[in-house]
Structure 1
Amino acid sequence: MVVVFETNEPYSPAMLEAALIDIYKCLQAPSSIPFASCAAAINTARDVVADIGPRAASRSVGLLDIARCNPRHSERETHKVLAKKYGLALDIPQSRLSTKDDGCHIPLLRLRDWARFLLKHNCWHLCTGLVRPDQKRERSILKVFWARYKQWNPKHPIFQKAARGEVCLSRVAPICFHGDEGRSRKRSPFMVLSFYPMLGRGVCLQKKQKAQPLKRYLKLKPNFKGHSYTSRWLFTGLRKRDYTDKREHNWKLVLEEAATEAAHMCEVGAESLSGERHWMQLVHICGDWPFLHKSGYFRRSFLTVQKRLSQRRLAGICHLCLAGTSDVQFEQIATRRPKWLSTLHQESPFDEPNPFSVVLHVEDRLSELWAYDLFHVWHLGVSKNYLGSVLVILSELEPHSSVDARFDSLTEKYKTWCRVHKRRAHVIKINKELLNWTTTSQFPTGSWHKGELSTVLMEYVEWRFLSESFDDPMLTKAAEACHAIQACIRGMYSADLFLSPSESHQISELGFRFLRRYEQLAQEAHAQHKNLFVFQPKIHIIPHWLVALSKASKDNRYALNPLGTSCQQNEDFIGRASRVSRKVATSDLSLSRIMDRYLKAAFAKWVDCGYLVKPE
């Protein structure tokens, strides 16, 4: 990067400040500015100093320091200037994981250090979903959270610890652990592990309400709103070669460290500046199904689903129940009393002791620590199966002889709707490839990997069903299914972290209505010898949520919103951390350099949000 001033006037302090800001932004690498190497920032600083002279450059704090850095050790030198000298990074120490490989250095940002950082800078309110400190309100929110969580999970040992006086629930923050792979250099996988508070500022809805409701004193919202750098706490980042093949043992070591940190924060906690002790309780481990399987070492998951009719031994697909075994079908979705319900927690899904067994959990129910994710189950799962079949049926109504021509006509209608209703289309065309439907012998299902596309297509399909009438019985049932699941999902997104009995009843009834229609559509398609409305393992997860909500409603108690363990905001955090990793050269210190850059980039966002004050 080269800074050029097109002027004959002497350089002013404002211009000098602008030059330093450009250099600093290169190192912070926010999403709106291209990434740059530290060497490029040093060269830019040197060019500016050469143009204006050292005396003028000294007016801009830090410019001379960056110019004096050695480009051969650019990462180390600029980190000393920005982080150590001027404090332009989160002051969280990097710990190093002891591994068996001398060439593998895995840095960690321990949960206990994050807790001390929050307490030191008076940011504990971020654990309760508040935007500014308010000790009385924070404690009231946490007290209500645990009171409602006790209704949802009364056997949790945290309540026994509170009864013995070992913890104070008004100072215990509920947290989750998340992991997923992003894309690093040359599109290689990059695993990002993080902790985050379960309570947040709510959800950013597309349609703004005309009249904003009054802010409640005791709000319990899911954690989706705000910048992910301020709502997620990085634990570590791993390149694929750091935890696979010959270094596969490192994966378990990292999980053991994460579990140890979670157990420490529940048992010991951290002290604030006033001497009061605060704790954190790991409530759930969240992520897509591959991560749940990998972190849980489960012997039952989607990977063990039946693949052949002749297959005798069926291990099952769910770590919570025995669905998918020879005697219990996972496809049983249209009843409130499925056969798998009596097998909940009946058989452990673990083949060996799990690292997270040290975390406080209900006895003999460690598996419920791993929670399914609404985002991957619905937006990137069942909705793609439903939309694939519905879009195929809608395309057949177009007045053209060829399949491609019918899809072209459907595409034009979709794009017109997007323009009128101000939605992003996300795709150039709807065709056979998008739906994985190259032949009629295949079951159509969406091939996209963007959850928002599922949301927009569901809105389009819903609009078609509302604005048009169809004689086709399958489309009639599909319309009923669409209206039910759209109302169900909207109910979750508009609700708090905990659902009242009436909300649980309404959401569960709508969800069951969708599942009944989906099963009827699959049966009708089978009777007509059409491969439509496929059953895949993810559809089994929806009844798990609905049965639990229905039972909570009947018992007149609060229930945890399935949205509480959804991972949309985590996906944003994964992408940001992965993009930071792409601009760090490959070496033994790569992970430490990535962590350095993350701490500087996160610091800028914490300052922008007003949680930290930039040092003078």
Structure 2
Amino acid sequence: MTVETVFGQQQPEPEPNVPDAKCQAQDYVEPHKDRASRGLAEVYARCRAFDCIRFELPARSHLTGFVLLHASSTIERLFDDHAPMVFKIGFTHNPAFRWANSRYGYAHDPYDRWDAMVILYLASNPHGPAMLESALIDKYGRRPGCRNINRGGDGVKVPAKAVVRTARNVLSDIGPQAAASSKGLKRLAECSLSNAERDAQTLLSKKMKLSLPIPLETLGQGKLNFPVLRLRSWAQFLLDRNLWHILCGLLSPDTDREKAILRGFWAEFQRHSPQHPVFELGLPLEDTVPMVFHGDEGRGRRRQGWLATNYHSIIGRGIQAALDKDAREKKRGRYVKLRCNYIGHSLTNRFGHAGLPKAVYSDPEIFKAVLEDAASEALFMTEHGVFNPRMGTRYMIILNVVGDWSWLHKAGGLSRTYHNMEKAGAKAKAKPKAAAKAKKSKPPKEPVGICHLCRAGQKDVPFEDIYSRQPLWLRTMFQQQPWIAPPSFARLHHPVGEEASIFAFDIFHAFHLGVGKTHVSSCLAMLSDVTAGSNIDLRFEALNAEWKSFKTGLFQPKLTPEFIGWESRSDFPSGSWHKGQLTTDLMRFLEHKFEQTDLSGDIMLQKAAEGTCAINQCLRLLYENDSVFLQPDLARSIAEHGLQFLRRYSFLAKRAHDTEKSLWGLIPKVHAVHHVLVKLLQDAEDGRPSLHPLCFGVQQDEDYVGRPSRLSRRVSSRLVSTRVLQRYLQDAYAKYVSSNLIVPS
């Protein structure tokens, strides 16, 4: 348990009658003491390295009430000695790391200059410090200078059995008469310890209504007996609770405005894609919400995969960068606003569908059943919709399936993906005799191709011609089906002959976690060669010092050859990080670095600088303009900057190849980026609005995927899918309440 402080005056010397902090701490941690803890001893040893971390602890035998009294009196004394002061109350597993780490440590806080950390309490489990934190924040959270935002204790998770046992203990302590004022305490104490999770879920969800009323349905019988949340159930809930405005990007219900927004969307969509069959279905488009379906794999128990799928509306409340720009320019809001869906909590604007561990969804039959259920629900909502006596009938239509390329490959059963890319390196390493023998035995297979939309990667249709505004693959769009058997989602409504267009590329994964990483890593490798230093480690140390001083964000890992995936000069740098924001930060750093460096003697660095500036401007325009439909002039500007980057990238890849340098590898994701940019340019030249590429971006969905994935690590593995969806609905209920979307009963 810690209190971090910024003192308003110099810290006085301790009074003679105050016991020495080290002696108090040693009562907890020295091996010869009773009930000593090895873990606490390690914590104490690390903290001794910092003069600004000190211990003021109660005696080990003190009860809970005395611990709270001790902590309160210590904080009051700090106020008496140092007021005015800035302070924060919290608990941590590693005080030394929390103080000193370069990512988010108090010693490196860019806003408050913290002077000291006072440790008030040590324990070998987190539950006592969590309750103490909550009690102290409740008491001191309103004092001037407090930096606490949350109420405390929210970081600790316990099993349902522990909750039931605690409820029984409290009930026995205070008695039934005092417990009668609590509506749930007595009923929680009556839950069975042997089936605590089941009984607690029944109590919280069904009796106390502390969960969203979305029923769990099953995929089928036997091996398909797994739960899902159906789209029609979500739609009925949103309609009955007057929450349809969430799907239209509004903060509060407004039926007329909701209808106007949906009419505006479909009017623009008809200009964008007049051949889409949605306009032949006879639907009331002012009551029809455009949706997408997303899937991805998170990390579950023991680092095993966890499949999380969800639906969400294309229309939302915007992108933060665009809202900030509008605020700076003092733009007035519009009645009919069509913005991308990036603002708000993922528990309120993403609607869960399924959650399965890898051991389950690796079964093709089960995985197919999940996709079949999602597609069937999409068709039901398009053909039948949901009805409410006050609101009428409302519909949804799934326009696209989105996610990273791996997910598109699995969900579509695609036979043409990045998996089919020819690996020239493997051919070069083959033994000459073996290669000659193989050549005589049978002719080489024709390359299958890497793209489900076109024939790029096949013979005479290179995907590497990213320098072209009219690549050869453009004439091969939708010529061949990208699957052996049609997937479930091929039943969704789509333009005739363009079933593959249902599966949309995601610019976030294609660039920030693909081409951008390769470009950044290659630039850093090139810069290291022109940086002062007698060896590569010293040169990267110099680059790292500049990177740290740039201060782009809280997460700034050290720049090393291993970090950029360049352990030897024969390796193509590809980046070892998995955070898209880090690619953005490094791209900005590179632009700054290139501006400060004389590049006149190196044509490759000149082209790298031009490409970096071009793609930064392209992404800046994308994120600062969050309208669902981009008008032709803006779409053309975005496409031109992006294509300029690809031309520079192509030049650098060829020059590196010609000079025998392993830099700027032509990975398959360059083709995905090329597709997105050429589509924008085509729409602009035809004079029609473009559907914003970020409508298919998945940053917000990545946040959603992490939530059930973490829940899967905290529940029993026996009924993991059921327990995860139950707890997800409880978490979502709490977020709906805190967001003032529903009023608790």
Instruction: Give the TM-score normalised by structure 1.
Output: 0.92
Amino acid at match of 1:136: D
CA distances 1:78-104 after superposition (whole Å, capped 9, x unpaired): 112111111000001111111442xx6
| In structure 2, C-alpha distance between the alignment counterparts of 1:146 and 1:40, rounded to whole Å | 52
1:301–1:316 contact (8 Å) kept in structure 2: yes
1:151–1:559 contact (8 Å) kept in structure 2: no
Shift of 1:45: 1.6
2:712–2:724 contact (8 Å) kept in structure 1: yes
Structure 2 residue aligned with 1:492: 622
| In structure 2, C-alpha distance between the alignment counterparts of 1:478 and 1:556, rounded to whole Å | 32
Structure 1 residue aligned with 2:588: 459
Q: 1:565-580 residue pairs with structure 2 within 5 A?
A: 565-580=696-711
Structure 1 residue aligned with 2:530: 397
| In structure 2, C-alpha distance between the alignment counterparts of 1:283 and 1:435, rounded to whole Å | 37
2:505–2:676 contact (8 Å) kept in structure 1: no
Amino acid at match of 2:180: S
Say yes or no: does 1:150 pair with 2:274. no
Structure 1 residue aligned with 2:611: 481
Say yes or no: does 1:199 pair with 2:315. yes
My pick for the range that moved more, 348-357 or 331-340, is 348-357
Structure 2 residue aligned with 1:238: 356
Q: 1:372-521 residue pairs with structure 2 within 5 A?
A: 372-418=505-551, 421=552, 423-427=553-557, 429-471=558-600, 472-495=602-625, 496-521=627-652
Structure 2 residue aligned with 1:273: 389
1:120–1:273 contact (8 Å) kept in structure 2: no
Shift of 1:590: 2.2
Shift of 1:401: 1.3
Shift of the 91–203 alpha-carbon distance from structure 1 to 2, 3 Å rule, reads same
Structure 1 residue aligned with 2:115: none
Shift of 1:467: 3.2
Shift of 1:186: 1.0
Structure 1 runs not aligned, ≥5 long: 9-17, 23-28
Structure 2 residue aligned with 1:70: 192
Structure 2 runs not aligned, ≥5 long: 1-62, 70-129, 135-150, 428-434, 436-443
Shift of 1:381: 0.4
| In structure 1, C-alpha distance between the alignment counterparts of 2:724 and 2:481, rounded to whole Å | 38
2:507–2:676 contact (8 Å) kept in structure 1: no
CA distances 1:300-334 after superposition (whole Å, capped 9, x unpaired): 00001112458542000000000000110000111
Amino acid at match of 1:80: T
1:242–1:248 contact (8 Å) kept in structure 2: no
CA distances 1:438-468 after superposition (whole Å, capped 9, x unpaired): 1111111111111111111111111112333
| In structure 2, C-alpha distance between the alignment counterparts of 1:381 and 1:5, rounded to whole Å | 55
- SS of 2:234's equivalent in the other structure is helix
Shift of the 405–321 alpha-carbon distance from structure 1 to 2, 3 Å rule, reads same
Shift of the 240–105 alpha-carbon distance from structure 1 to 2, 3 Å rule, reads same
1:505–1:549 contact (8 Å) kept in structure 2: yes
Structure 1 residue aligned with 2:673: 542
Structure 1 residue aligned with 2:225: 105
Structure 1 residue aligned with 2:36: none
- SS of 1:490's equivalent in the other structure is helix
Structure 1 residue aligned with 2:175: 53
1:194–1:236 contact (8 Å) kept in structure 2: yes
Shift of 1:204: 2.1
CA distances 1:336-356 after superposition (whole Å, capped 9, x unpaired): 110000000011112012211
| In structure 1, C-alpha distance between the alignment counterparts of 2:329 and 2:657, rounded to whole Å | 48
Amino acid at match of 1:148: E
Greater CA radius of gyration, 1 or 2? Answer: 2
Shift of 1:44: 1.9
Structure 1 residue aligned with 2:732: 602
Amino acid at match of 2:487: N
Shift of the 410–206 alpha-carbon distance from structure 1 to 2, 3 Å rule, reads farther
- SS of 1:517's equivalent in the other structure is helix
- SS of 1:551's equivalent in the other structure is helix
Shift of 1:358: 2.2
CA distances 1:528-564 after superposition (whole Å, capped 9, x unpaired): 2211111000000122112111121112111011111
| In structure 1, C-alpha distance between the alignment counterparts of 2:467 and 2:251, rounded to whole Å | 43
Structure 2 residue aligned with 1:190: 306
Structure 2 residue aligned with 1:14: none
Say yes or no: does 1:227 pair with 2:345. yes
For the aligned residue pairs, the C-alpha RMSD in angstroms reads 2.2
1:99–1:250 contact (8 Å) kept in structure 2: no
| In structure 1, C-alpha distance between the alignment counterparts of 2:404 and 2:610, rounded to whole Å | 29
| In structure 2, C-alpha distance between the alignment counterparts of 1:110 and 1:412, rounded to whole Å | 52
Say yes or no: does 1:288 pair with 2:419. no
Amino acid at match of 1:405: L
| In structure 1, C-alpha distance between the alignment counterparts of 2:196 and 2:593, rounded to whole Å | 57
| In structure 1, C-alpha distance between the alignment counterparts of 2:195 and 2:402, rounded to whole Å | 38
Amino acid at match of 1:401: S
2:454–2:476 contact (8 Å) kept in structure 1: yes
1:320–1:344 contact (8 Å) kept in structure 2: yes
1:119–1:273 contact (8 Å) kept in structure 2: no
1:106–1:591 contact (8 Å) kept in structure 2: yes
- SS of 1:199's equivalent in the other structure is coil
| In structure 2, C-alpha distance between the alignment counterparts of 1:520 and 1:357, rounded to whole Å | 38
Structure 2 residue aligned with 1:15: none
Instruction: Give the TM-score normalised by structure 2.
Output: 0.76
2:316–2:341 contact (8 Å) kept in structure 1: yes
Shift of 1:5: 5.2
Structure 2 residue aligned with 1:13: none
1:425–1:456 contact (8 Å) kept in structure 2: no
Of 266, 286, 291, the residue aligned with 1:170 is: 286
Q: With CA pairs under 8 Å and 6+ residues apart, which has the higher RCO, 1 or 2?
A: 1
Say yes or no: does 1:136 pair with 2:256. yes
1:316–1:325 contact (8 Å) kept in structure 2: yes
Shift of the 172–581 alpha-carbon distance from structure 1 to 2, 3 Å rule, reads same
Structure 2 residue aligned with 1:12: none
Amino acid at match of 1:234: G
My pick for the range that moved more, 450-459 or 518-527, is 518-527
| In structure 2, C-alpha distance between the alignment counterparts of 1:133 and 1:30, rounded to whole Å | 33
Structure 2 residue aligned with 1:26: none
Identical columns (%): 39
1:203–1:223 contact (8 Å) kept in structure 2: yes
